[in-house]
Structure 1
Protein backbone atom coordinates (compact mmCIF):
# COMPACT_ATOMS: atom_id res chain seq x y z
CA UNK A 1 0.00 0.00 0.00
CA UNK A 2 1.06 3.59 -0.67
CA UNK A 3 1.98 6.46 1.60
CA UNK A 4 0.45 9.57 0.05
CA UNK A 5 1.44 13.20 0.59
CA UNK A 6 -1.75 15.25 0.39
CA UNK A 7 -1.63 19.01 -0.24
CA UNK A 8 -4.83 21.01 0.36
CA UNK A 9 -4.91 24.58 -0.95
CA UNK A 10 -6.59 27.64 0.52
CA UNK A 11 -10.02 29.05 -0.31
CA UNK A 12 -8.99 31.35 -3.16
CA UNK A 13 -6.64 28.87 -4.80
CA UNK A 14 -6.61 25.80 -6.97
CA UNK A 15 -4.33 22.79 -6.61
CA UNK A 16 -1.58 24.50 -8.63
CA UNK A 17 -0.80 26.60 -5.55
CA UNK A 18 1.35 23.66 -4.45
CA UNK A 19 3.11 22.98 -7.79
CA UNK A 20 6.55 24.02 -6.58
CA UNK A 21 6.28 21.96 -3.42
CA UNK A 22 5.04 18.92 -5.34
CA UNK A 23 7.94 19.22 -7.80
CA UNK A 24 10.42 19.13 -4.93
CA UNK A 25 9.17 15.75 -3.74
CA UNK A 26 10.84 14.03 -6.71
CA UNK A 27 8.28 11.40 -7.55
CA UNK A 28 6.72 10.64 -4.16
CA UNK A 29 3.03 9.73 -4.50
CA UNK A 30 1.19 13.04 -4.16
CA UNK A 31 -2.38 14.28 -4.22
CA UNK A 32 -2.92 18.06 -4.56
CA UNK A 33 -6.46 19.41 -4.22
CA UNK A 34 -8.35 22.63 -3.59
CA UNK A 35 -11.33 22.78 -1.22
CA UNK A 36 -13.65 23.49 -4.14
CA UNK A 37 -12.51 20.19 -5.74
CA UNK A 38 -13.79 18.17 -2.81
CA UNK A 39 -17.50 19.03 -2.66
CA UNK A 40 -20.14 20.92 -4.65
CA UNK A 41 -21.90 22.64 -2.99
CA UNK A 42 -19.19 22.99 -0.39
CA UNK A 43 -19.56 22.01 3.24
CA UNK A 44 -16.92 20.79 5.64
CA UNK A 45 -18.52 17.40 6.09
CA UNK A 46 -18.92 16.90 2.35
CA UNK A 47 -15.31 18.00 1.82
CA UNK A 48 -14.08 15.43 4.32
CA UNK A 49 -15.99 12.74 2.45
CA UNK A 50 -14.58 13.95 -0.87
CA UNK A 51 -11.04 13.95 0.52
CA UNK A 52 -11.46 10.44 1.89
CA UNK A 53 -12.72 9.22 -1.49
CA UNK A 54 -9.65 10.68 -3.22
CA UNK A 55 -7.26 9.14 -0.72
CA UNK A 56 -8.90 5.71 -0.98
CA UNK A 57 -8.96 5.91 -4.78
CA UNK A 58 -5.19 6.48 -4.69
CA UNK A 59 -4.77 3.23 -2.74
CA UNK A 60 -3.16 4.99 0.20
CA UNK A 61 -2.76 3.16 3.48
CA UNK A 62 -1.27 6.21 5.21
CA UNK A 63 -1.05 9.93 4.50
CA UNK A 64 0.82 13.06 5.41
CA UNK A 65 -1.53 16.05 5.23
CA UNK A 66 -0.32 19.56 4.31
CA UNK A 67 -2.90 22.33 4.36
CA UNK A 68 -3.04 26.10 3.97
CA UNK A 69 -5.73 28.18 5.68
CA UNK A 70 -9.10 26.45 5.10
CA UNK A 71 -7.08 23.55 3.67
CA UNK A 72 -5.36 23.29 7.03
CA UNK A 73 -8.71 23.25 8.79
CA UNK A 74 -9.91 20.41 6.55
CA UNK A 75 -6.64 18.56 7.26
CA UNK A 76 -7.10 19.06 11.00
CA UNK A 77 -10.58 17.59 11.06
CA UNK A 78 -9.57 14.72 8.78
CA UNK A 79 -6.60 13.89 11.00
CA UNK A 80 -8.81 13.87 14.09
CA UNK A 81 -11.31 11.56 12.40
CA UNK A 82 -8.68 9.21 10.90
CA UNK A 83 -5.89 8.83 13.48
CA UNK A 84 -4.80 5.43 12.15
CA UNK A 85 -4.26 6.76 8.62
CA UNK A 86 -2.66 10.19 9.19
CA UNK A 87 1.03 9.91 10.12
CA UNK A 88 1.98 13.58 9.87
CA UNK A 89 0.36 17.00 9.63
CA UNK A 90 1.60 20.38 8.41
CA UNK A 91 -0.69 23.35 9.00
CA UNK A 92 0.11 26.75 7.48
CA UNK A 93 -1.88 29.88 8.30
CA UNK A 94 -4.61 27.70 9.74
CA UNK A 95 -7.22 28.27 12.42
CA UNK A 96 -8.92 26.46 15.29
CA UNK A 97 -12.00 28.66 15.52
CA UNK A 98 -12.03 31.65 13.16
CA UNK A 99 -12.76 35.04 14.68
CA UNK A 100 -16.40 35.60 13.79
CA UNK A 101 -16.20 39.41 13.73
CA UNK A 102 -13.13 39.46 11.50
CA UNK A 103 -14.68 36.91 9.16
CA UNK A 104 -17.87 39.00 8.85
CA UNK A 105 -15.85 42.08 7.93
CA UNK A 106 -13.75 40.11 5.43
CA UNK A 107 -16.78 38.64 3.72
CA UNK A 108 -18.59 41.98 3.60
CA UNK A 109 -15.60 43.58 1.91
CA UNK A 110 -15.25 40.74 -0.57
CA UNK A 111 -18.96 40.78 -1.45
CA UNK A 112 -18.60 44.44 -2.45
CA UNK A 113 -15.77 43.66 -4.89
CA UNK A 114 -16.78 42.63 -8.43
CA UNK A 115 -15.92 39.01 -9.15
CA UNK A 116 -13.71 39.94 -12.09
CA UNK A 117 -11.57 42.06 -9.74
CA UNK A 118 -10.81 39.18 -7.37
CA UNK A 119 -7.55 37.29 -8.03
CA UNK A 120 -9.23 33.91 -8.32
CA UNK A 121 -7.94 31.03 -10.47
CA UNK A 122 -9.83 29.88 -13.54
CA UNK A 123 -12.73 27.68 -12.54
CA UNK A 124 -13.30 29.30 -9.16
CA UNK A 125 -16.02 31.94 -9.20
CA UNK A 126 -16.87 34.53 -6.56
CA UNK A 127 -19.99 32.68 -5.38
CA UNK A 128 -18.06 29.48 -4.70
CA UNK A 129 -15.23 31.41 -3.07
CA UNK A 130 -17.62 33.14 -0.67
CA UNK A 131 -19.33 29.83 0.12
CA UNK A 132 -15.95 28.45 1.21
CA UNK A 133 -15.42 31.41 3.53
CA UNK A 134 -18.96 31.07 4.89
CA UNK A 135 -18.31 27.41 5.69
CA UNK A 136 -14.96 28.14 7.32
CA UNK A 137 -16.49 30.84 9.51
CA UNK A 138 -18.73 28.29 11.21
CA UNK A 139 -16.07 25.68 12.01
CA UNK A 140 -14.91 25.03 15.55
CA UNK A 141 -11.96 22.61 15.82
CA UNK A 142 -11.36 22.92 19.56
CA UNK A 143 -12.59 19.38 20.21
CA UNK A 144 -10.68 17.97 17.20
CA UNK A 145 -7.18 19.25 17.93
CA UNK A 146 -6.48 17.27 21.15
CA UNK A 147 -7.49 14.04 19.37
CA UNK A 148 -4.63 14.32 16.87
CA UNK A 149 -1.53 12.38 17.90
CA UNK A 150 0.38 12.44 14.61
CA UNK A 151 3.51 14.64 14.68
CA UNK A 152 2.70 18.11 13.40
CA UNK A 153 4.45 21.23 12.18
CA UNK A 154 2.59 24.53 12.45
CA UNK A 155 3.76 27.33 10.15
CA UNK A 156 2.78 30.98 10.04
CA UNK A 157 4.30 34.00 8.36
CA UNK A 158 5.38 36.78 10.68
CA UNK A 159 3.23 39.18 8.61
CA UNK A 160 0.15 36.94 8.83
CA UNK A 161 -0.97 38.67 12.02
CA UNK A 162 -4.56 37.48 11.85
CA UNK A 163 -3.40 33.85 12.08
CA UNK A 164 -0.43 34.11 14.46
CA UNK A 165 -2.54 33.60 17.62
CA UNK A 166 -4.14 30.49 16.11
CA UNK A 167 -0.73 29.13 15.06
CA UNK A 168 0.56 29.48 18.61
CA UNK A 169 -2.60 27.89 20.00
CA UNK A 170 -2.41 24.98 17.55
CA UNK A 171 1.23 24.29 18.43
CA UNK A 172 0.44 24.46 22.14
CA UNK A 173 -2.67 22.27 21.92
CA UNK A 174 -1.65 19.57 19.45
CA UNK A 175 -0.10 16.76 21.49
CA UNK A 176 3.05 16.49 19.32
CA UNK A 177 3.70 19.75 17.47
CA UNK A 178 6.40 22.29 16.70
CA UNK A 179 5.84 25.92 15.68
CA UNK A 180 7.78 27.76 12.97
CA UNK A 181 7.22 31.46 12.44
CA UNK A 182 8.63 32.42 9.03
CA UNK A 183 10.21 35.90 9.11
CA UNK A 184 8.71 38.22 6.50
CA UNK A 185 6.18 35.63 5.34
CA UNK A 186 2.55 36.43 4.62
CA UNK A 187 -0.48 34.17 4.57
CA UNK A 188 0.46 32.12 1.49
CA UNK A 189 3.84 30.76 2.53
CA UNK A 190 4.05 28.35 -0.40
CA UNK A 191 4.37 31.46 -2.59
CA UNK A 192 6.08 33.83 -0.13
CA UNK A 193 8.63 31.42 1.32
CA UNK A 194 8.82 28.26 -0.81
CA UNK A 195 12.21 27.23 0.59
CA UNK A 196 10.94 27.42 4.17
CA UNK A 197 7.86 25.39 3.29
CA UNK A 198 9.94 22.82 1.40
CA UNK A 199 12.24 22.46 4.41
CA UNK A 200 9.25 22.00 6.70
CA UNK A 201 7.73 19.36 4.41
CA UNK A 202 11.05 17.53 4.18
CA UNK A 203 11.50 17.62 7.96
CA UNK A 204 8.02 16.25 8.55
CA UNK A 205 8.35 13.48 5.97
CA UNK A 206 11.73 12.38 7.31
CA UNK A 207 10.09 11.90 10.68
CA UNK A 208 6.71 10.49 9.71
CA UNK A 209 6.59 8.91 6.26
CA UNK A 210 7.29 5.18 5.95
CA UNK A 211 10.60 4.41 4.27
Structure 2
Protein backbone atom coordinates (compact mmCIF):
# COMPACT_ATOMS: atom_id res chain seq x y z
CA UNK A 1 0.00 0.00 0.00
CA UNK A 2 1.08 3.60 -0.56
CA UNK A 3 1.33 6.39 2.02
CA UNK A 4 1.22 9.73 0.22
CA UNK A 5 2.45 12.78 2.15
CA UNK A 6 1.29 16.13 0.77
CA UNK A 7 3.16 19.20 1.99
CA UNK A 8 1.76 22.62 2.88
CA UNK A 9 1.99 25.96 1.12
CA UNK A 10 5.46 27.38 1.60
CA UNK A 11 6.91 23.89 2.12
CA UNK A 12 8.46 21.37 -0.24
CA UNK A 13 8.50 17.58 -0.35
CA UNK A 14 11.67 17.66 1.79
CA UNK A 15 9.61 19.13 4.64
CA UNK A 16 8.63 15.53 5.42
CA UNK A 17 12.21 14.23 5.67
CA UNK A 18 12.47 14.21 9.47
CA UNK A 19 8.99 12.73 9.92
CA UNK A 20 9.80 9.94 7.46
CA UNK A 21 12.76 8.90 9.62
CA UNK A 22 10.34 8.10 12.45
CA UNK A 23 7.72 6.30 10.39
CA UNK A 24 7.57 2.55 10.91
CA UNK A 25 5.30 1.29 8.16
CA UNK A 26 5.43 -1.30 5.41
CA UNK A 27 3.75 1.25 3.11
CA UNK A 28 5.72 2.77 0.28
CA UNK A 29 6.07 6.45 1.27
CA UNK A 30 5.64 9.01 -1.50
CA UNK A 31 6.19 12.77 -1.15
CA UNK A 32 5.29 14.57 -4.38
CA UNK A 33 6.35 18.18 -4.91
CA UNK A 34 3.08 20.06 -5.40
CA UNK A 35 4.68 22.98 -7.22
CA UNK A 36 5.94 20.70 -9.98
CA UNK A 37 2.31 19.88 -10.75
CA UNK A 38 1.76 23.53 -11.71
CA UNK A 39 4.66 23.71 -14.17
CA UNK A 40 3.41 25.12 -17.50
CA UNK A 41 -0.18 25.00 -16.23
CA UNK A 42 -2.62 27.64 -14.94
CA UNK A 43 -1.72 28.43 -11.34
CA UNK A 44 -4.61 27.72 -8.99
CA UNK A 45 -6.10 25.28 -6.51
CA UNK A 46 -8.26 23.56 -9.14
CA UNK A 47 -5.19 22.76 -11.21
CA UNK A 48 -3.44 21.28 -8.18
CA UNK A 49 -6.46 19.15 -7.32
CA UNK A 50 -6.79 17.91 -10.91
CA UNK A 51 -3.11 16.90 -10.86
CA UNK A 52 -3.62 15.08 -7.55
CA UNK A 53 -6.41 13.04 -9.13
CA UNK A 54 -4.12 12.11 -12.04
CA UNK A 55 -1.34 11.19 -9.62
CA UNK A 56 -3.57 8.95 -7.50
CA UNK A 57 -5.20 7.34 -10.53
CA UNK A 58 -1.85 5.66 -11.28
CA UNK A 59 -2.34 3.36 -8.28
CA UNK A 60 -4.80 0.47 -8.24
CA UNK A 61 -4.89 -0.11 -4.49
CA UNK A 62 -6.58 2.13 -1.88
CA UNK A 63 -4.26 4.84 -0.58
CA UNK A 64 -3.30 6.22 2.80
CA UNK A 65 -3.40 9.99 2.30
CA UNK A 66 -1.74 12.47 4.65
CA UNK A 67 -1.65 16.21 4.11
CA UNK A 68 -0.67 19.34 6.00
CA UNK A 69 -2.58 22.59 5.43
CA UNK A 70 -2.86 22.93 1.62
CA UNK A 71 -1.90 19.27 1.32
CA UNK A 72 -4.60 18.37 3.83
CA UNK A 73 -7.24 20.27 1.89
CA UNK A 74 -6.26 18.44 -1.29
CA UNK A 75 -6.32 15.05 0.47
CA UNK A 76 -9.68 15.83 2.07
CA UNK A 77 -11.29 16.75 -1.24
CA UNK A 78 -9.88 13.65 -2.92
CA UNK A 79 -11.34 11.49 -0.17
CA UNK A 80 -14.72 13.20 -0.53
CA UNK A 81 -14.76 12.64 -4.29
CA UNK A 82 -13.16 9.18 -4.33
CA UNK A 83 -14.04 7.45 -1.04
CA UNK A 84 -13.37 3.98 -2.45
CA UNK A 85 -9.78 4.96 -3.32
CA UNK A 86 -8.79 6.04 0.20
CA UNK A 87 -7.91 3.54 2.91
CA UNK A 88 -7.21 6.19 5.55
CA UNK A 89 -6.95 9.96 5.82
CA UNK A 90 -4.66 12.13 7.96
CA UNK A 91 -5.40 15.86 8.12
CA UNK A 92 -2.80 18.12 9.76
CA UNK A 93 -3.59 21.78 10.42
CA UNK A 94 -6.37 21.59 7.85
CA UNK A 95 -9.30 23.94 7.30
CA UNK A 96 -12.58 22.77 5.74
CA UNK A 97 -13.99 26.29 5.29
CA UNK A 98 -11.33 28.66 4.07
CA UNK A 99 -10.78 31.51 6.54
CA UNK A 100 -10.81 34.51 4.20
CA UNK A 101 -9.15 36.90 6.65
CA UNK A 102 -6.34 34.42 7.33
CA UNK A 103 -5.68 33.96 3.62
CA UNK A 104 -5.62 37.72 3.11
CA UNK A 105 -3.10 38.11 5.92
CA UNK A 106 -1.02 35.30 4.44
CA UNK A 107 -0.98 37.08 1.09
CA UNK A 108 0.16 40.30 2.76
CA UNK A 109 3.07 38.39 4.31
CA UNK A 110 3.92 36.87 0.93
CA UNK A 111 3.99 40.32 -0.67
CA UNK A 112 6.70 41.59 1.68
CA UNK A 113 8.82 38.43 1.59
CA UNK A 114 11.89 38.53 -0.71
CA UNK A 115 11.67 36.84 -4.10
CA UNK A 116 14.60 34.61 -3.18
CA UNK A 117 12.47 32.84 -0.55
CA UNK A 118 10.09 31.62 -3.25
CA UNK A 119 12.82 30.80 -5.73
CA UNK A 120 14.26 28.26 -3.28
CA UNK A 121 10.98 26.35 -3.61
CA UNK A 122 10.98 26.63 -7.40
CA UNK A 123 7.91 28.85 -7.34
CA UNK A 124 7.33 32.49 -8.25
CA UNK A 125 6.12 34.99 -5.68
CA UNK A 126 3.19 36.02 -7.89
CA UNK A 127 2.17 32.36 -8.23
CA UNK A 128 2.03 31.95 -4.45
CA UNK A 129 -0.31 34.90 -4.20
CA UNK A 130 -2.43 33.63 -7.09
CA UNK A 131 -2.69 30.17 -5.52
CA UNK A 132 -3.85 31.67 -2.22
CA UNK A 133 -6.45 33.80 -3.98
CA UNK A 134 -7.83 30.74 -5.79
CA UNK A 135 -8.63 29.05 -2.46
CA UNK A 136 -10.66 31.83 -0.83
CA UNK A 137 -14.10 30.39 -1.63
CA UNK A 138 -13.40 26.71 -0.86
CA UNK A 139 -15.95 25.18 1.51
CA UNK A 140 -16.24 21.44 2.18
CA UNK A 141 -18.45 21.54 5.28
CA UNK A 142 -21.48 19.95 3.62
CA UNK A 143 -19.39 17.12 2.12
CA UNK A 144 -17.48 15.93 5.18
CA UNK A 145 -20.10 13.25 5.86
CA UNK A 146 -18.94 11.54 2.66
CA UNK A 147 -15.65 10.64 4.33
CA UNK A 148 -16.08 7.09 5.66
CA UNK A 149 -12.51 5.86 6.13
CA UNK A 150 -10.56 6.01 9.41
CA UNK A 151 -9.39 9.60 9.81
CA UNK A 152 -6.77 11.16 12.05
CA UNK A 153 -7.02 14.91 12.64
CA UNK A 154 -3.82 16.50 13.94
CA UNK A 155 -3.18 20.02 15.23
CA UNK A 156 -0.31 21.68 17.04
CA UNK A 157 -1.07 23.00 20.51
CA UNK A 158 0.17 26.45 19.45
CA UNK A 159 -1.72 26.44 16.14
CA UNK A 160 -4.56 28.67 17.32
CA UNK A 161 -5.64 29.56 13.78
CA UNK A 162 -6.49 25.93 12.97
CA UNK A 163 -7.50 24.38 16.30
CA UNK A 164 -11.21 25.23 15.93
CA UNK A 165 -11.24 23.64 12.47
CA UNK A 166 -9.53 20.53 13.86
CA UNK A 167 -12.27 20.12 16.45
CA UNK A 168 -14.88 20.68 13.75
CA UNK A 169 -13.37 17.97 11.56
CA UNK A 170 -13.42 15.48 14.41
CA UNK A 171 -17.09 16.26 15.06
CA UNK A 172 -18.18 16.11 11.42
CA UNK A 173 -16.24 13.08 10.16
CA UNK A 174 -17.74 9.83 11.41
CA UNK A 175 -14.57 7.82 11.99
CA UNK A 176 -12.29 10.68 13.04
CA UNK A 177 -10.04 11.02 16.06
CA UNK A 178 -8.20 14.16 17.13
CA UNK A 179 -4.62 14.41 18.38
CA UNK A 180 -3.09 17.64 19.69
CA UNK A 181 0.70 17.66 19.45
CA UNK A 182 2.55 19.65 22.09
CA UNK A 183 5.39 22.07 21.44
CA UNK A 184 4.24 22.68 17.90
CA UNK A 185 2.56 25.32 15.82
CA UNK A 186 1.20 24.88 12.30
CA UNK A 187 4.15 23.19 10.58
CA UNK A 188 4.25 20.09 12.76
CA UNK A 189 6.30 18.10 10.26
CA UNK A 190 9.10 20.63 10.78
CA UNK A 191 8.56 21.77 14.38
CA UNK A 192 7.93 18.39 16.02
CA UNK A 193 8.46 15.66 13.42
CA UNK A 194 9.31 13.01 15.98
CA UNK A 195 6.03 13.23 17.85
CA UNK A 196 4.14 13.53 14.58
CA UNK A 197 5.78 10.34 13.37
CA UNK A 198 4.88 8.56 16.61
CA UNK A 199 1.22 9.53 16.22
CA UNK A 200 1.14 8.49 12.56
CA UNK A 201 2.69 5.12 13.44
CA UNK A 202 0.05 4.50 16.11
CA UNK A 203 -2.80 5.43 13.76
CA UNK A 204 -1.57 3.47 10.76
CA UNK A 205 -0.88 0.39 12.87
CA UNK A 206 -4.50 0.22 14.03
CA UNK A 207 -6.43 0.82 10.81
What TM-score, normalized by structure 2, do the two folds share?
A: 0.89
Contact 2:153/2:178 (CA < 8 Å) preserved in 1? yes
Specify the alignment match of 1:4 in structure 2.
2
- Please say if 1:111 is aligned against 2:106: no
Specify the alignment match of 1:182 in structure 2.
181
Contact 1:13/1:121 (CA < 8 Å) preserved in 2? no
Contact 2:118/2:124 (CA < 8 Å) preserved in 1? no
Measure, in 1, the Cα distance between the counterparts of 2:191 and 2:118: 16
- The RMSD of aligned alpha carbons is 1.9
Measure, in 2, the Cα distance between the counterparts of 1:91 and 1:26: 18
Measure, in 2, the Cα distance between the counterparts of 1:119 and 1:192: 20
Specify the alignment match of 2:56 in structure 1.
55
Question: What SS class does the counterpart of residue 143 from structure 1 fall into?
Answer: helix
1:99-138 correspondence to structure 2 within 5 Å: 99-116=99-116, 118=117, 121-138=120-137
Contact 1:11/1:34 (CA < 8 Å) preserved in 2? no
Contact 1:153/1:200 (CA < 8 Å) preserved in 2? no
Specify the alignment match of 2:29 in structure 1.
30
Deviation per CA, 1:73-115: give whole Å up to 9, x if none: 0010000011001011111111011221222122123213332
Which stretches in structure 1 are left out of the alignment for 5+ residues? none
Structure 1 runs (4+) deviating above 6 angstroms are: none
Contact 2:20/2:197 (CA < 8 Å) preserved in 1? no
Mean alpha-carbon deviation: is it higher for 190-199 or for 43-52?
43-52
Q: CA deviation at 1:120?
A: 6.4
Q: Which has the higher helix share?
A: 2
Measure, in 1, the Cα distance between the counterparts of 2:193 and 2:108: 31
Deviation per CA, 1:160-190: give whole Å up to 9, x if none: 1111111111111111111111122111101
1:39-188 correspondence to structure 2 within 5 Å: 39=38, 40-57=41-58, 59-116=59-116, 118=117, 121-188=120-187
Measure, in 2, the Cα distance between the counterparts of 1:34 and 1:170: 26
Measure, in 2, the Cα distance between the counterparts of 1:167 and 1:120: 31
Measure, in 2, the Cα distance between the counterparts of 1:148 and 1:33: 23
